[in-house]
Amino acid sequence: MHQTSLNLEQLRQSLRSSQRPLADWQGGEMAVSAVPGAGKSHSLSVAAAIAIAHHGLHNQEKLLIVTYTRSAAAAIKGKVNQRLQALGLPSLGFAVQTLHGLALSIALRHPEISGLDPEQQTLVSPQRGHRLIKDAVEQWRRENPKTYQALVEAGNFDGETTETLRRQAVLSTEVLPELTKIVVAEAKSSGLSPQDVTDMGRIAPGSELLSMGAGLFKHYQALMAAKNWIDYNDMILAALRVLQDPHLCRQWQEQFFGVFEDEAQDSSPLQEKLLTKLAQNANGTIRLIRVGDPNQAINSSFTPADPVYFNQFCRRCQALGSFATMDQAGRSNLQVIAAANFLLEWVNQDWQTRFSGPKANTTLPFRPQAIRPVEPGDPQPNPPATDGGVEIHFPQDINQEVEQIRRRLVPLLLANPHHNAAILVRENRQGRFVADRLKDVEKDGGLKVLDVGDQDRNSRIPGEILSLLQFIDRPHSPDLLKATLTVLQERQLIPTQDLNALAAVPEQFLYPTPLMSPLSSLAVSAQGLCRSLLKARLELPAYQLIAFLGLALNYDSSDLATLQKLSERLQVQTQPERSLKNLLSALHTIANDEQFEAIASDSDEKYTRPGQITIITMHKAKGLDWDYVFLPFLHQDTLPGDLWVPKGGQFLGQFTLAEVARAQIRTVVHHRQQQKAGAIALPVTATAWQEARRLKEAEEYRLLYVAMTRAKRLLWLSAAQEGPFAWNQMQARQSPRLRAKEPSRALLALQKRFGS
């Protein structure tokens, strides 16, 4: 026993001073706010091993560790096992699960209460273009003809037939599907029903939008039930239904000594409720540690996750004296740390200056917590800086920008083959542009270039082929024509233009009469491609259409390998008759089956191999790090940029219905989470839109912070003086048209502070 205590103290002493409060936890609620590179996973595994050994935990009463991805769960499980083995203890007394895996296991154990039956129900994750959402929109439209017509006639409406059809296309394929997706996700993640959202719409005058969202939500739920489908929020709701039974709840609570949650900044209210319920013991005490970094919350503008919830938990624990900041990090050199800290302070100060006043939203983009270097003698010392550690450049144009990256990066990796590098971009189109211009690096320099965006594009292949085949089968459908034009535009095969205007009357677009106004040059190229697809339908048998479409979409070798895998699967599923009808039916199932994967497989090790240049989005880079990190294209219209109102939907106003609804729902949920008394002041449209814009801006700055803190030895930031008007308007294999671009204000501030 004495030796075990000695070993535990040695294990505790191996942690940094800022990590030890986690290992000293004895019970109750605790919040740990950790900076980038602070060693969350390592310290979490050490704290888990100490708790297991100290309390003598076993498989009948174990520590539950929850994270959000399978890869993270596997990594933490391996680390805890290593710590237990070092202590001479068996690999018992703990369980590591993803949050949704945990919810599913609870729900499936008691199907009579949860209502989940895996043999009868299918898990889906509907996006805006999913058939389910389209059907919900159509049912709502039929049920609310007056409201729908009011939307069609909004703004300056002249009643002209073509404009009416165009607006109807925008509403049915963009505005209402996006509103449905956002309202469903925001409401369900907070445990709200369609009736709850309806009640919100009655709070104040001018909140009819939430009534509309509630109707769409109601039809969505009805269709899900009719098809025996469930989504990820349904899994958590099902688990909570089980835990509402006092006897079953006690059974589950008795299995767990306590709960550790990783990446807590990405939790929704529903997820927090589930973990808090499981962490409560018989006398009402909650044993819950939540570890996260609100400054790395980069999903709140497109998922229900919001750092405000974790920040609220931190404040509650701070009042209880059970809050700690894990603020020492050995990942980056001192200059990178200084730059990241400066960005945090500058953004918060700028925010307070611009949004001051009694009615201002006082929530700052960043939690005020600086990164501190590690202490001397740390086993993971801060690495030495390469040259100055931080470099900032303003090349003439984006072509010169990539060339400067090549000239700086290639010699570094050739001289240091055991090091690695990454070029982090804001969107995949930028990544493709960089990859196209670095193709010869592999051949001439012997370095590997990995464009991670290629894998993301490959995973969309079933959906793209389905869209084109559906159009070939029913070319008179405006929705199907628009879906095909969208695929062609995203693959950069046709110029960016108003697709709703082209798709409103398919016959007039595809085969105009001489009396009609001639098509624009942009539309003519799109028309030609669509006609070639219809011609192939007449000339080729159904089973050859898949290969033809791959060529028509200009798939590269990686795309074609994935397409071949898809084709082989379709051949099996359409036997013995490979008709177009059977092909469409099988492909529709595959396109909505999350089990279909591209040929290339993901692994963190693949992204960080020595001697490799990884081109990856800033979002996907979270959790990874490289010796040399390059951040190009840091322009003001991108970082932070602004919320985009599609030109086709501007007849509704200079805002989007979905973002306004999101802001209104979050206002109500935040009010409830904070348990405030009194009536809720639901923001009107203009106020809600401004709040949505601030949410977007704050998250973009946090994304830049995450990208900067990926760097170990060198951080290279740049913004060319000339770039494309919009990256989605760049055509493949063509020199882009450039215009003057403003660098991000954050980059200018960094240049003033760290520039040579």
**Residue 585 amino acid letter:** S
Q: Which ranges of 38-130 does DSSP label H, i.e. alpha helix?
A: 40-55, 70-86, 99-109, 111-114
207 is in an annotated binding site: no
Please identify which residue in the block is written with the tokens 């209502």: 115
Instruction: Report the alpha-carbon distance of residue 141 to residue 535 in Å, rounded.
Output: 35
Instruction: Report the alpha-carbon distance of residue 423 to residue 433 in Å, rounded.
Output: 12
Q: Please tell me what DSSP assigns to residue 145.
A: H
Give the CA distances from residue 720 to residues 170, 426, 581, 729, in Å, rounded to whole numbers and listed in that order.
35, 15, 50, 18
78 is in an annotated binding site: no
134 is in an annotated binding site: no
> Residue 425: beta bridge partners?
617
Token pair for 25: 């936890």
Element (H, E) at 568: helix 557-573
Q: Please tell me what DSSP assigns to residue 58.
A: B
3-state helix, strand, coil in the chain (%, to 5): 55, 10, 35
Instruction: Report the alpha-carbon distance of residue 532 to residue 696 in Å, rounded.
Output: 40
Longest dimension (CA), the chain: 96
36 is in an annotated binding site: yes
Closest CA to 38 of 310, 297, 296: 296
535 is in an annotated binding site: no
Residue 598 half-sphere exposure toward CB, CA atoms < 13 A: 18
Q: Specify whether the CB–CB gap between 506 and 481 falls below 8 A.
A: yes
Token pair for 609: 């191999």
Instruction: Report the alpha-carbon distance of residue 285 to residue 320 in Å, rounded.
Output: 14
Cα angle 748-749-754, degrees, rounded to a multiple of 5: 95
Q: Are strands 722-724 and 738-740 parallel, antiparallel or unpaired?
A: antiparallel
40 is in an annotated binding site: yes
Across 563-645, the runs of DSSP E, i.e. the strands, are 612-617, 626-631
Closest CA to 91 of 106, 79, 108, 74: 79
38 is in an annotated binding site: yes
- Write the burial class of residue 144 (CB in 10 Å: 0-12 exposed, 13-18 middle, 19+ buried): middle
Q: Which residues make Cβ contacts (< 8 Å) with residue 13, sequence separation at least 6?
A: none
Q: Specify whether the CB–CB gap between 42 and 374 falls below 8 A.
A: no
Burial call 203-241: b when 16+ CB within 10 Å, e when fewer: eeeebebbbbbbbbbbbbbebbeeeebbbbbbbbbbbbb
Give the CA distances from residue 14 to residues 1, 212, 227, 241, 577, in Å, rounded to whole numbers and listed in that order.
20, 57, 54, 42, 66
Q: Which residues make Cβ contacts (< 8 Å) with residue 515, sequence separation at least 6?
A: none
The DSSP-derived string for 111-128 is HHHH---TTT-EE----T
124 is in an annotated binding site: no
Element (H, E) at 445: helix 439-445
Which residues are annotated as part of the binding site? 34-41
Which residues are annotated as part of the binding site for ATP? 34-41
